[in-house]
C-alpha cells in the first residue's frame, strides 16, 4: 500500500509517499523563511500556494507504484495555509481516483513516534512551535494529560529571540548560544499537569535588557523551559503507570531537551524514543504514515466533509486504527511498599509514609535544589493549613528540609484514579473550595493526589487531599480556576465517561465555593491554545 501525505499547517510545504510493504518514507519539503520576525500568515500562505504543487510533483515522481490514498493535514494550523493544502489534496485524490484521509497534525507527531519506536502504548510529549502538550491513549481517543496554558514552546522561544533581534526560527539559535552560557535563575511554572511560558519569557527579556549576557539567558531559558516539559512528561508517566515515552514536534530536535527526557526515563526505569529529525519537524512523512493506518481502518472522508480546522485538537479525533486493549491507563495497580511518583519516592508503612524528593538528574543542580527545598517546605505548611480549614489531609509528623523528606500519616486505601465516583469528585472540589476560601491552592489536584477511604471503621467514606508540593498562597481567581482545570483534566484523562463526574465536581464547587471561579474556568478553557 502506498499513501501520499501532504503537510502545510504553518511554515513548511511538504509532501511524502509511504510504502507500507517496505516501511519506507520519501519526503519532499520546502520551508518558508521570513525575512524578519516570525511567521506572517499571508506570506506563509503565498509560499504554500507556490511550493505545494512543486513538492507534490516531486513526490509523485518518486512513487514506485500506484497510489492507494491521499492524506492531508486538516489542522491545527494557520487557516489560509490549511485551506491551500486541503484544496490540493482534494484535487489530487480526485485526479488519482483514490480515497481522501484527513489527519490531525499533532496526532501524526505522536503516531510517527509510536510507529518508528515499536512501543505498544506510550505517553507522548509534543513540543512544537505553536503547541506543547502530553498525550495518552484512553478509551478510543488521545487524551490531553497536560498542556501549555498560554503559548507553544517554540513560539515562546521565538518571542525571546525576536526581542533580541534574531531571525526565525529562534529555537536553534537559543540552543547554540546556550552552549557557552552560565545558568541564570528564571521563573519555573508548572501547574499540576500544565505549564506556562509567558512569565519566563518576560523575565528572560528583562534579564537581557538589564545587561545579562545573552548566552547566560539562553542557558537559563533552556534549563527551565525544558525541565518544565520533562517534569510534566514524568507526571504523565506516573499518572498513567506507563514506562514508554515518545517525543514529537520540531522543538524535539533540541539536543538538551532530548538529553533531559532520556535522563528522566533512565532514572525512573522507563524507555524513551525520539524519531530522527526529519520526522520531528513539520513533515508530510508523518501525515502519510498515519494516513495509511486510517485508510486501512476505513477512516476516509467524502469531499464535502473534508473541511480544515485551524483549532483541531488531538483529543477530538476518534482513534479508529488502534485496539481498545492498548489503553494507556493501568487502573487498579495496587499499592507497593515503595512507590515512585513523578516528584518523589514514597516509602509506605503500615501507619506512616516517608516521602523523599530525590535529586532529578535531568535538572540543573541549582534549579533542582531550589525546587526540592521550596516544594518540601510548601507541602508541610499547606498540609497543616488545609487541616486547620477542615480539609482531610495526612498529619505531618516530621519535616527534614535539607533532606527534602516528610514523615506523614498514611491515609486511604486507593487513589481516586482507581475509585472514581460522582460523590468522591464532589468531595474533592468541596475541599478545593475550602482551601481557596483560605487563600491558597493545591497546585496539583490530579486523581493520583487524592486518596480514598472506601470502607472506614464507621462505614463512611473519606476523601483526602495529598501532595501539596506545588501549592501556594494567592487571592487570584485565575489560580483557583487553574486548580479546577487541573482536576478536570485528570478526570478526562482517566475516566471512561468523564462528563457526569465533571458536572458533579462543578456543582459541588458552586455550592461550597465562589461560583465566579467556575466562570473563570470557562474563560481558561476558551483561550484557544491550539491556534
SS3 31: strand
Start-end of H helices in 301-395 = 365-388
Taking alpha carbons only, the member of 168, 156, 172 closest to residue 35 is 168
Distance CA 67, CA 86 (A): 18
First-to-last C-alpha distance (Å) of the chain: 33
Taking alpha carbons only, the member of 223, 225, 186, 227 closest to residue 207 is 186
Buried b (16+ CB within 10 A) or exposed e, 89-126: bbebbeeeebbbbbbbbbbbbbbbbbbbbebebbbbbb
Distances (CA, A) of 238 to 112, 144, 145, 149: 23, 15, 11, 21
Q: Find out whether 147 and 324 touch, Cβ atoms under 8 Å.
A: no
CA angle 170, 175, 180 (to 5 degrees): 130
Residue 200: all three cell numbers together: 519566563
Distance CA 186, CA 204 (A): 7
Distance CA 298, CA 275 (A): 27
Residues tagged active-site: 444
- Long-range contacts (CB closer than 8 Å, 24 or more residues apart) made by 449-454: 450/415, 450/416, 450/424, 451/411, 451/412, 451/413, 451/414, 451/415, 451/416, 452/412, 452/413, 452/414, 452/415, 452/416, 452/419, 452/424, 453/411, 453/412, 453/413, 454/413, 454/414, 454/419
**DSSP letter assigned to residue 306:** -
Start-end of H helices in 102-213 = 105-117, 153-164, 171-178, 198-209
Q: Find out whether 221 and 177 touch, Cβ atoms under 8 Å.
A: no
Distance CA 489, CA 133 (A): 12
Distances (CA, A) of 460 to 390, 453, 455, 465: 17, 8, 6, 17
Amino acid at each position: 500500500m502506498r499513501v501520499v501525505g501532504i503537510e502545510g499547517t504553518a511554515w513548511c510545504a511538504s509532501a511524502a509517499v509511504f510504502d507500507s510493504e517496505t516501511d519506507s518514507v520519501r519526503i519532499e519539503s520546502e520551508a518558508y523563511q521570513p525575512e524578519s520576525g516570525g511567521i506572517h500568515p499571508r506570506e506563509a500562505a503565498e509560499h504554500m500556494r507556490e511550493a505545494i504543487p512543486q513538492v507534490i510533483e516531486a513526490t509523485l515522481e518518486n512513487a514506485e507504484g500506484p497510489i492507494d490514498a491521499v492524506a492531508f493535514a486538516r489542522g491545527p494550523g494557520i487557516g489560509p495555509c490549511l485551506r491551500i493544502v486541503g484544496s490540493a489534496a482534494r484535487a489530487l485524490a480526485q485526479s488519482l481516483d483514490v480515497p481522501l484521509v484527513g489527519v490531525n497534525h499533532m496526532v501524526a507527531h505522536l503516531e510517527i513516534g509510536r510507529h518508528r519506536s515499536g512501543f505498544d502504548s506510550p505517553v507522548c510529549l509534543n513540543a512544537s512551535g505553536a503547541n506543547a502538550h502530553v498525550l495518552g491513549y484512553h478509551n478510543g481517543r488521545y487524551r490531553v494529560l497536560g498542556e501549555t496554558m498560554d503559548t507553544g514552546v517554540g513560539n515562546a522561544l521565538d518571542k525571546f529571540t525576536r526581542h533580541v533581534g534574531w531571525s526565525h526560527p529562534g529555537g536553534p539559535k537559543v540552543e547554540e548560544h546556550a552552549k557557552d552560557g552560565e545558568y541564570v535563575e528564571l521563573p519555573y511554572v508548572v501547574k499540576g499537569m500544565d505549564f506556562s511560558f509567558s512569565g519566563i519569557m518576560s523575565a528572560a527579556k528583562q534579564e537581557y535588557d538589564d545587561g545579562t549576557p545573552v548566552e547566560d539567558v539562553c542557558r537559563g531559558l533552556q534549563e527551565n523551559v525544558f525541565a518544565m516539559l520533562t517534569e510534566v512528561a514524568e507526571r504523565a508517566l506516573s499518572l498513567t503507570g506507563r514506562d514508554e515515552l515518545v517525543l514529537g514536534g520540531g522543538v524535539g530536535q533540541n539536543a538538551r531537551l532530548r538529553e533531559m527526557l532520556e535522563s528522566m526515563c533512565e532514572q525512573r526505569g522507563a524507555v524513551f524514543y525520539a524519531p530522527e529529525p526529519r520526522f520531528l519537524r513539520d513533515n508530510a512523512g508523518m501525515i502519510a504514515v498515519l494516513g495509511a493506518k486510517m485508510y486501512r481502518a476505513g477512516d476516509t472522508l467524502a469531499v464535502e466533509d473534508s473541511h480544515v480546522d485551524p483549532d483541531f485538537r488531538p483529543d477530538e479525533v476518534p482513534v479508529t486504527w488502534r485496539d481498545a486493549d492498548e489503553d494507556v491507563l493501568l487502573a487498579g495497580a495496587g499499592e507497593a511498599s515503595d512507590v515512585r511518583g513523578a516528584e518523589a519516592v514514597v516509602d509506605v508503612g503500615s501507619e506512616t509514609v516517608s516521602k523523599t524528593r530525590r535529586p532529578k538528574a535531568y535538572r540543573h543542580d541549582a534549579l533542582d535544589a531550589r525546587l526540592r527545598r521550596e516544594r518540601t517546605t510548601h507541602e508541610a505548611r499547606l498540609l497543616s493549613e488545609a487541616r486547620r480549614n477542615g480539609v482531610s489531609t495526612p498529619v505531618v509528623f516530621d519535616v527534614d528540609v535539607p533532606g527534602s523528606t516528610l514523615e506523614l500519616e498514611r491515609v486511604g486505601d486507593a487513589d481516586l484514579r482507581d475509585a472514581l465516583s460522582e460523590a468522591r469528585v464532589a468531595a474533592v472540589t468541596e475541599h478545593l473550595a475550602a482551601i481557596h476560601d483560605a487563600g491558597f491552592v493545591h497546585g496539583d489536584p490530579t486523581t493520583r493526589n487524592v486518596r480514598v477511604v472506601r470502607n472506614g471503621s464507621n462505614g463512611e467514606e473519606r476523601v483526602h487531599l495529598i501532595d501539596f508540593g506545588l501549592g501556594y498562597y494567592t487571592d487570584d481567581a485565575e489560580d483557583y480556576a487553574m486548580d479546577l482545570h487541573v482536576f478536570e483534566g485528570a478526570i478526562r484523562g482517566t475516566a471512561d465517561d468523564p462528563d457526569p463526574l465533571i458536572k458533579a465536581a462543578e456543582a459541588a464547587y458552586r455550592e461550597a465555593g465562589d461560583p465566579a471561579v467556575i466562570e473563570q474556568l470557562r474563560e481558561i478553557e476558551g483561550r484557544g491554545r491550539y491556534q
